């Protein structure tokens, strides 16, 4: 069926985006998109499509790398719960407030992005650590959780692509190597200045912090938070709230920030070590999924031992908290499973290949940067992953460039920028889902608040790429 009507490949992601934004039911949107796409693969048979949809979800869990990401996203909730129950989060808040380190909304927001900028190791860590640390501060200072999600996302994929001491740089370098690019990592470093969307996004976030101005849905969320009203979770999205992870400190213990610092530091150090180990001594060649999975397990173990030695929590209490927290994130794990299943389905349907191929033969050389950026952004938004969009677009984009080194760097930067856009605001991206978890707000409220900002930055980025194309592509 899909062979006869290749344009059907764009239908599943369009259905997901429409249903998610129009009806604000992300689980329904994801499953409908998956079912429709699987039905196309089953030659129009909806029953076989339903069966294939379920099988694709199970296939995600069969893939070791994807399964580790799903489990990590569930297990990290245990770290968040343990650091709260032990008084670590409360101790950190008291530490920064009593010492006047953070005494205003602007300072709290700066702290969030500073933490994210300091750990450009892996996108999941880059969201969950600043999110879990800043969430109580934001609540206390009446800053919206949508703003927290936006700030975490603005220094997540962007910082990981411009400071490539992580698997992101290795992945893009691997794609370029497969396309015959000599010294791909060196070329990647040269292309970083042309990764405009990442720089503009981080700059825009800093501008909003400095001016303390917000617009559109974000302004509405900020007004609501100043009035002391937290958003109500929609029934369809309540599994993503993370509210089940809000744990009061244990009675009769003295809160201390070290109870948060030690597990978090253990997770970061284990992540770095894991990247070196899995990369056989080369950090950029390490497995991000393996590193974060074992890092979170190591952090939980260190937390349990520290709290037991300190007399804060027994092993039985730690175990109970672990299972309660992981169970509370089952819905989020299921949604990430759906997103991975949909992403692999879109690859099999050749969604990106169809979109890119349709534009390949009708663009002027001067439009190459803006077209590559726009196509990669759409594909990344539609399938929910920058990596998938890059895998589709890099062979096409590099094939359009013939010999000119500056043009090649601009094309690479444009495609990197487009991929980051999807990870910044797509409702089906694992990064936006984890931002909803870390901030504890409704997933579609986050998307609706972030999307106008992301589109505005993307429009400005597109204009700059258009000007650069006119100047450098002749």
Query: SS3 of 195, please?
Result: coil
Predicted confidence (pLDDT) per residue in 184-194, tens digit: 878 888 999 99
Enumerate the domain spans of the chain.
64-181+217-331
40-61 b/e (C-beta count within 10 Å ≥ 16 → b): bbbeeeeeebbebbeebbeebe
Q: What is the pLDDT of residues 36-80, one digit of tens each?
A: 999 999 988 999 999 999 998 898 888 887 788 778 777 877 887
Specify the pLDDT at position 379.
82
**pTM of this structure:** 0.72
What is the DSSP-derived secondary structure letter of residue 242?
-
The better pLDDT of the pair 160, 150 is held by 150
Q: What angle do CA 326, 17, 31 make, to 5 degrees?
A: 50
Picking from 290-304, 324-338, 362-376, which range would have the lowest pLDDT averaged per residue? 324-338
- Distance, in Å, from the CA atom of 36 to the CA atom of 46, rounded to the nearest integer, reads 8
Q: How far apart (Å, rounded) are the C-alpha atoms in residues 12 and 372?
A: 22
**Which residue would you say has higher pLDDT here, 249 or 158?**
158
Predicted confidence at residue 276, as pLDDT, reads: 87
Q: Is the dihedral of CA 55, 59, 62, 66 positive or negative?
A: negative
Q: Is the pLDDT of residue 420 over 70?
A: yes
Average pLDDT, the chain: 84
Enter the tokens of residue 207: 């501008």
Cβ distance 411 to 368 under 8 Å?
yes
Helix runs in 86-234, H state only: 88-98, 105-118, 123-140, 145-154, 157-162, 167-178, 184-191, 196-211, 216-226
């Amino acid at each position: 069926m899909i062979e006869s009507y290749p344009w059907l490949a764009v239908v599943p992601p369009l259905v997901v985006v429409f249903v998610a934004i129009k009806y604000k039911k992300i689980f329904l949107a994801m499953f409908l998109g998956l079912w429709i796409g699987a039905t196309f693969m089953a030659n129009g048979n909806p029953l076989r499509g339903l069966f294939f949809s379920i099988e694709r979800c199970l296939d995600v869990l069969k893939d070791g790398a994807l399964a580790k990401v799903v489990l990590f996203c569930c297990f990290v909730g245990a770290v968040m719960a343990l650091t709260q129950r032990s008084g670590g989060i409360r101790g950190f808040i008291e530490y920064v407030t009593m010492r006047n380190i953070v005494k205003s909304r602007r300072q709290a927001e700066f702290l969030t992005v500073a933490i994210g900028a300091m750990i450009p190791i892996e996108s999941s860590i880059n969201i969950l650590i600043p999110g879990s640390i800043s969430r109580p501060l934001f609540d206390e200072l009446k800053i919206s959780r949508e703003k927290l999600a936006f700030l975490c996302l603005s220094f997540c994929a962007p910082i990981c692509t411009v400071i490539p001491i992580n698997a992101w740089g290795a992945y893009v370098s691997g794609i370029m190597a497969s396309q015959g690019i000599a010294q791909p990592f060196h070329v990647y470093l040269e292309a970083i200045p042309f990764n405009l969307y990442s720089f503009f996004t981080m700059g825009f976030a800093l501008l909003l912090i400095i001016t303390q101005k917000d617009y559109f849905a974000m302004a509405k969320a900020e007004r609501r938070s100043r009035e002391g009203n937290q958003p109500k979770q929609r029934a369809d999205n309540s599994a993503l709230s993370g509210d089940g992870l809000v744990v009061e400190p244990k009675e009769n213990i003295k809160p201390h920030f070290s109870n948060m610092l030690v597990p978090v530091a253990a997770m970061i150090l284990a992540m770095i070590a894991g990247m070196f180990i899995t990369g056989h001594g080369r950090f950029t060649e390490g497995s991000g999924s393996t590193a974060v999975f074992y890092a979170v397990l190591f952090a939980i173990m260190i937390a349990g031992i520290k709290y037991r030695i300190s007399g804060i929590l027994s092993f039985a209490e730690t175990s109970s908290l672990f299972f309660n927290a992981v169970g509370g994130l089952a819905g989020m794990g299921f949604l990430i499973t759906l997103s991975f299943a949909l992403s692999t389905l879109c690859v099999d349907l050749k969604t990106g290949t169809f979109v890119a191929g349709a534009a390949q033969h009708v663009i002027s050389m001067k439009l190459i940067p803006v077209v590559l950026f726009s196509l990669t952004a759409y594909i990344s938004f539609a399938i929910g992953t920058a990596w998938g969009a890059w895998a589709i677009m890099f062979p096409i984009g590099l094939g359009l460039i013939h010999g000119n080194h500056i043009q090649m760097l601009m094309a690479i930067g444009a495609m990197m920028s487009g991929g980051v856009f999807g990870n910044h605001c797509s409702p089906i991206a694992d990064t936006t889902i984890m931002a909803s978890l870390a901030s504890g707000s409704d997933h579609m409220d986050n998307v609706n608040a972030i999307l106008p900002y992301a589109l505005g930055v993307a429009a400005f980025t597109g204009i700059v790429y258009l000007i650069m194309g006119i100047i450098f592509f002749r």
